[in-house]
Structure 1
Amino acid sequence: MKTNILDRAIEYVAPRLAARRLRARVSMNAARGFDGAKRGPRAAGWRATGASSTAEILPALSVLRNRARDLIRNNPHMRRALRIQVANAIGTGVQVKFTDKALQKVWKGWVKECDAGGLLDFYGLQAQAYRAWKESGEVLLRFRSRLPQDGLDVPLQLQMLEIDYLDSLKVGLVDGGFVVAGVQFNMIGQRTGYWMFDQHPGEVSQVPRNMVSRFVPASEIIHLFDAIDRPNSVRGFPWLASAVWKARDLDEYQDAELVRKKIEACFAAFVTSSDEGFGVGRTMASAPSDPRRVEALSPGMVEYLRQGETVSFAAPATSNEYESNVRVDLRALAAGTDTTYEQLTGDYSQVNFTSGRMGKMEFKRMNEQDLWLIFIPMFCEAVADRFVSTAYLAGKAKQPVADRLWSPQAIEFIDPLREANGIIALIDARLRSRHQSIRNLGDDPDEVDAEIDADRLAIEVPVSGRALDPKSAHEVLDRLEQILTTVPQ
């Protein structure tokens, strides 16, 4: 890089200052090579910081969360988008299959009584957690250990808490670590606990509240948020963050259009007169000689204007672009909510099989990413680990760890015949196992096989048309008993 006399003089007197000037000049020259880094009128008002994810999120987090919740309460499209996300990702629940059949039976009993509030089962808590995660950007689950007198086979329950319970203003140094936005870390960056309120900060005033947060160990809390958004993320932000203003603007545009339509529906007449004695508000004339003026119109009426009077009628401007404008905005909202336009609106008038399948495949990929990279590892696996360890301590499991497989609910086929034939072709070509295909459909392969065998035996015996000999009858009964014992209760 060329230097001038001033640069050489500064370098001679203050080498460190000269080095800083040189680095700044190199940085400016590099920025000029990218249009996105150039400064000028186009970049006026574009504020882009180099702050960490927490520094950027924390000042706006409560506002974003409250606005997102308000949109979901009051905007039908946002409410539908959230329901679509939860229905397609969770459905009726992400199922687990333990290799230990005895433990699987204990799990099936525990999922019905795991809710500390006594309202939902584990799969309902899954839907609640996923919904709160998308709506608020994060959600908390607290493990609640129970006593033997509580009557639970596995003395463990789950309490779902909104992220408002976390003290976001808690920051600073503590013994052996530090606190950022209510989350405590040790000196090597591992989460050691959370600072939480005893009650919701926004609870009704009649409920006594203690606004002093208390420390809860990280082993007792699941903090579900999008941890893959940025490295070193501490908190998450609402899923609707990028669509908040677009949704708000669409609401206001539709309200304005409704007002305009109401104005168009009004029929108004304006009378201009040179009569100095002209007045309004008089009763309608009842006879030709009556000096009172007509101020109402009726069907079939013929009225002659007086000398010096003219009448003009209001003609509000009409627009035929409303539907196209709304459709453009709804497509932007669909992109901002990770759904398709057809899912968001229920309008399938402009979609065919190919485009519908392409949209479904992209939507399914995003759902699978959220499930397998975030929800299942951070939520489902953590709950299963705690369940197994608690069941082991309660004498209901043989080991404190257990192998398991998770099966999310499958999305329905668009064309069942074509897609089912595709699955069959993959199985026949030995590119996918039959059990894996069944799990991808959200079912348990062992249960499916047992039910198929039971159906076959139930059909074959009557179809034979003859009485079975004692030996064959015993074989059939033994086979049925074997099938029934393999089906988890």
Structure 2
Amino acid sequence: MALAAVRGFDGAKRGPRAAGWPTSGASSLANLMPSLATLRNRARDLVVNNSHLRRALRVMVANAIGTGIQAKFASKRQQKVFKRWVKYCDADGLLDFFGLQAKAYRAMKLSGEVLVRYRRRRPGDGYEVPLQIQILEIDYLDSLKVGEVDGGFVLAGVQFNLIGQRTGYWLFDQHPGEVAQVPRNMMSRFVPASEVLHIFDAIDRPNSVRGFPWLASAIWAARDLDEYQDAERIRKKIEACFAVFVKSNDEQFRAGMPGVASPGDGRRVESLSPGMIEYLRNDEEVQFAAPQTNDGYEAGVRIDLRAIAAGTDTTYEQLTGDYSQVNFTSGRMGKMEFNRMLLQELWLIFIPMFCEAVAGQFAATAYLAGVTSSPDYDVTWSPNRIEMIDPLREANGMIALIEARLKSRHQIIRDLGDDPEETDAEINADPLNTSEPEPAGTPDAGRMFERVMARLRRLEVLVMSAER
């Protein structure tokens, strides 16, 4: 028993140090729901009013989605129909499919979760594929809806069957926070899970039902920094208001009033100008204000900004736009870690929960509408290209991987965010390739490979010439 006590964990000890550290063994939903609305509203307010957090969110969306995650269907017919569908898939009629990707991802990060509804259209509406999608804020979900229902139960607006599978969602017809034309007694309605996508970080905790805002751990750091900077600005303004102090033994002296101590002294100087000479009376003395400098202000703000950057999954340089304290190596390492986190989120959360799900509904609806021959589909997703930090070195690395047969050309092209077939077609149509002799007896794939390698070598020469 004594040995077990000695080997206890320090982090579990009780005493004065742990007096102000309350913890909970509740489920993720039980911990989250009392605070979810407040967290969400504060996160939205900070993104609107805090320039750093607004930039952080834009950086996340720009790097994750960019101009859109491209889809490549194995079926050429499905691909052609999909290219036409992406232009009219928005139920609101404002964006294309890639714009909806950015909207959904942004809402997921800001609010912690987002809803996507499938909107089925009638044949008379004139759509080739009678399907559109609508992005809804998570506020449409009735978070107060809980309890048992026939064949299952409801938790925070999400309905499950008896084996824990999601069967539907309880949604409002309108946004509960709308300022006009909203009935006082809003009632939520059940919508089957087959018609709704609920996108959130489902890998954060096992058995997660709802998501929480991306800014949750940085809210107070950002708020405190805002207040500190406001206080520092006000202090500077107050100091700037007190430029000169005049001390006088004249009992009739009143600040801002003309002096009457001697004839001819009809006014009092209350402003200073360059080269001015003013004679004081014997009973007057002038003192100049000496504003206090805050030498630790910049260093303190930088420390707080680094903490906020850590809480928003961005680098300090991305959060602030300040690259004065970073070199090439440290900047590259920070960008690599950032890219790795983004890729994990894209491939484990956003692409499976949004892109793949929408592609499945598109394929099924297109088949039922008679515009494709099968509901089965095989699609490859290519996230937006990430710019090279050092194009020459990274291009050489890609060439080495291709030559060593460790990666295919098509895989490299997809990693760059492009379509391999379109890239090959452009290479074949490039006039620069017409003057290159083709090795006799070389198969088509070999000729294509030789052409690409020749272009990469020319690119290397051009880059080296530019650097010189």
1:70 match: 45
The residue type equivalent to 1:401 in the other structure is D
Corresponding position: 1:306 with 2:282 = yes
How far, CA to CA, are the matches of 1:349 and 1:301 in structure 2?
A: 45
1:199 match: 174
How far, CA to CA, are the matches of 1:429 and 1:325 in structure 2?
A: 50
Corresponding position: 1:338 with 2:313 = yes
CA shift digits 1:355-374 (9 cap, x unpaired): 11111110110000000000
What's the CA shift for 1:301?
2.9
Of 243, 263, 279 in structure 2, the residue corresponding to residue 289 of structure 1 is 263
2:120 match: 145
What's the CA shift for 1:312?
3.5
How far, CA to CA, are the matches of 2:428 and 2:375 in structure 1?
A: 34
* Residues 103 and 58 (structure 1), Cα distance of their counterparts in 2 relative to 1, 3 Å cut: same
Corresponding position: 1:417 with 2:398 = no
For the 8 Å contact 2:427–2:433, the answer to whether it is kept is no
How far, CA to CA, are the matches of 2:389 and 2:130 in structure 1?
A: 43
Q: Aligned runs of 1:15-94 on 2, under 5 Å?
A: 29=5, 33-94=8-69
CA shift digits 1:176-226 (9 cap, x unpaired): 100000000001000000000000000013455651000000000000000
Of 128, 142, 159 in structure 1, the residue corresponding to residue 134 of structure 2 is 159
For the 8 Å contact 1:142–1:222, the answer to whether it is kept is yes
Unaligned runs of 5+ in 2: 438-468
Corresponding position: 1:190 with 2:165 = yes
How far, CA to CA, are the matches of 1:454 and 1:258 in structure 2?
A: 60
How far, CA to CA, are the matches of 1:387 and 1:218 in structure 2?
A: 16
What's the CA shift for 1:229?
0.3
The residue type equivalent to 2:408 in the other structure is S
How far, CA to CA, are the matches of 1:446 and 1:315 in structure 2?
A: 70
1:442 match: 417
Greater mean deviation of Cα atoms: 447-456 or 267-276: 267-276
What's the CA shift for 1:316?
2.9
For the 8 Å contact 1:112–1:122, the answer to whether it is kept is yes
Max radius of gyration: which structure?
Answer: 1
Three-state SS of the structure 1 residue aligned to 2:21 is coil
What's the CA shift for 1:271?
4.1
How far, CA to CA, are the matches of 1:446 and 1:298 in structure 2?
A: 74
Greater mean deviation of Cα atoms: 347-356 or 200-209: 200-209
1:21 match: none
Greater mean deviation of Cα atoms: 288-297 or 189-198: 288-297
Three-state SS of the structure 1 residue aligned to 2:363 is helix
2:370 match: 395
CA shift digits 1:259-299 (9 cap, x unpaired): 122123223444444544444442256x9534768452544
Three-state SS of the structure 1 residue aligned to 2:114 is strand
For the 8 Å contact 2:253–2:259, the answer to whether it is kept is no
For the 8 Å contact 2:256–2:270, the answer to whether it is kept is no
Corresponding position: 1:380 with 2:355 = yes
Of 229, 233, 241 in structure 2, the residue corresponding to residue 258 of structure 1 is 233
The residue type equivalent to 1:161 in the other structure is L
Q: Aligned runs of 1:200-219 on 2, under 5 Å?
A: 200-208=175-183, 211-219=186-194
Three-state SS of the structure 2 residue aligned to 1:204 is coil
Unaligned runs of 5+ in 1: 3-24, 464-489
Q: How many residues align?
A: 435
How far, CA to CA, are the matches of 1:280 and 1:90 in structure 2?
A: 63
1:404 match: 379
Three-state SS of the structure 1 residue aligned to 2:430 is helix
Three-state SS of the structure 2 residue aligned to 1:331 is helix
For the 8 Å contact 2:112–2:201, the answer to whether it is kept is yes
* Residues 209 and 339 (structure 1), Cα distance of their counterparts in 2 relative to 1, 3 Å cut: same
How far, CA to CA, are the matches of 1:349 and 1:268 in structure 2?
A: 34
CA shift digits 1:104-132 (9 cap, x unpaired): 10111111111001111111000000000
For the 8 Å contact 2:90–2:133, the answer to whether it is kept is yes
How far, CA to CA, are the matches of 1:39 and 1:439 in structure 2?
A: 54
RMSD: 2.2
For the 8 Å contact 1:222–1:378, the answer to whether it is kept is yes
For the 8 Å contact 1:201–1:209, the answer to whether it is kept is no
Superposition TM-score, scaled by structure 2 size: 0.88
1:122 match: 97
How far, CA to CA, are the matches of 1:273 and 1:224 in structure 2?
A: 72
What's the CA shift for 1:394?
1.0
Superposition TM-score, scaled by structure 1 size: 0.84
For the 8 Å contact 1:284–1:295, the answer to whether it is kept is no
Greater mean deviation of Cα atoms: 124-133 or 206-215: 206-215
For the 8 Å contact 2:256–2:268, the answer to whether it is kept is no
For the 8 Å contact 1:143–1:158, the answer to whether it is kept is yes
The residue type equivalent to 1:382 in the other structure is A
1:179 match: 154
Three-state SS of the structure 1 residue aligned to 2:116 is strand
Corresponding position: 1:233 with 2:213 = no
What's the CA shift for 1:52?
0.7
How far, CA to CA, are the matches of 1:298 and 1:339 in structure 2?
A: 48
* Residues 295 and 180 (structure 1), Cα distance of their counterparts in 2 relative to 1, 3 Å cut: same
How far, CA to CA, are the matches of 1:279 and 1:414 in structure 2?
A: 67
For the 8 Å contact 1:334–1:341, the answer to whether it is kept is yes
How far, CA to CA, are the matches of 1:272 and 1:355 in structure 2?
A: 57
Of 99, 107, 110 in structure 2, the residue corresponding to residue 135 of structure 1 is 110
How far, CA to CA, are the matches of 1:267 and 1:104 in structure 2?
A: 71
CA shift digits 1:298-354 (9 cap, x unpaired): 4423323334x5443332321122221111111111111111111111111121211
* Residues 460 and 268 (structure 1), Cα distance of their counterparts in 2 relative to 1, 3 Å cut: closer
How far, CA to CA, are the matches of 2:62 and 2:47 in structure 1?
A: 16
What's the CA shift for 1:41?
2.5
* Residues 47 and 292 (structure 1), Cα distance of their counterparts in 2 relative to 1, 3 Å cut: farther
Query: Identity of paired residues, percent?
Result: 70
Three-state SS of the structure 2 residue aligned to 1:143 is strand
